[in-house]
Amino acid sequence: MIKRQWDLKSALIWSYILIALVTGLILHFAGENRHRSLIHNLGAGSLWPMTIMKTYPQIDASSPEQFDLSFDLVEGSHPGDIKGHRLFSEALGLASYYIYIQQQTDAELKALSDFSHLDLGSNTLFRKLFKQPDIRMQVAKQFDGMTFGDIVAQRDSIKESVQQALAKR
């Protein structure tokens, strides 16, 4: 009788560990924090009952006011994630720059290599572009319904789009 209880107890423990590992791997490859390390996501997976119930705010591009409110919520949904906030800002800046490139047919555009390291000057340019109402709403529509992690995950594909657009010029 005691051995049977121990088998049930060990089976429950091992099933929890297995679910934690699977959840951690899913979080690492497809979760909100996929830009973070595997160890971080395995740690989050170990708390899988709370992790799978967590929701994240999304961008709402239905109006400029709704976008501003939802943008603040999305941006603040990952406090302390310095790398994530850098990637988030870069994704928004690159999306703004891509829209700017599309609008500037006759203007002389600098090569992307000037912006590839995203130094202070390029971030200043990106912020200025993002503050323009027409560009801001186009970026809002592009990211409508996305969470912080979704926007961070789009960064590399947006950068490729910018590179391709500049190569055509």
Cβ(59)–Cβ(77) below 8 Å: no
Residues of the chain with pLDDT under 70: 1-5, 105-123, 169
Tokens describing residue 96: 């703004």
The string of pLDDT tens digits covering residues 96-138 is: 988 988 887 654 555 444 454 544 445 677 778 888 889 999 9
Q: What is the pLDDT of residue 71?
A: 93
Residue 55 phi, psi (nearest 5)? -115, 155
Cβ(42)–Cβ(31) below 8 Å: no
Neighbours of 38 (CB within 10 A): 13
Question: DSSP 3-state assignment of 37?
Answer: coil
Residue type, 54: K
Give buried/exposed letters for 54-74 (b at 16+ CB in 10 A, else e): eeebbbbbeeeeebeebbeeb
Q: What is the pLDDT of residue 22?
A: 95
Q: What is the pLDDT of residue 57?
A: 93
Residue type, 166: L
User: Cβ contacts of residue 110 below 8 Å, gap of 6+?
Assistant: none
Tokens describing residue 95: 């999306």
Cβ(63)–Cβ(154) below 8 Å: no
Q: What is the pLDDT of residue 64?
A: 92
User: Cβ contacts of residue 151 below 8 Å, gap of 6+?
Assistant: 59, 74, 88, 91, 92, 143
Q: What is the residue-averaged pLDDT of the chain?
A: 84
The tokens 């971080």 sit on which residue? Answer: 40
The tokens 């990952």 sit on which residue? Answer: 78
Q: What is the pLDDT of residue 121?
A: 44
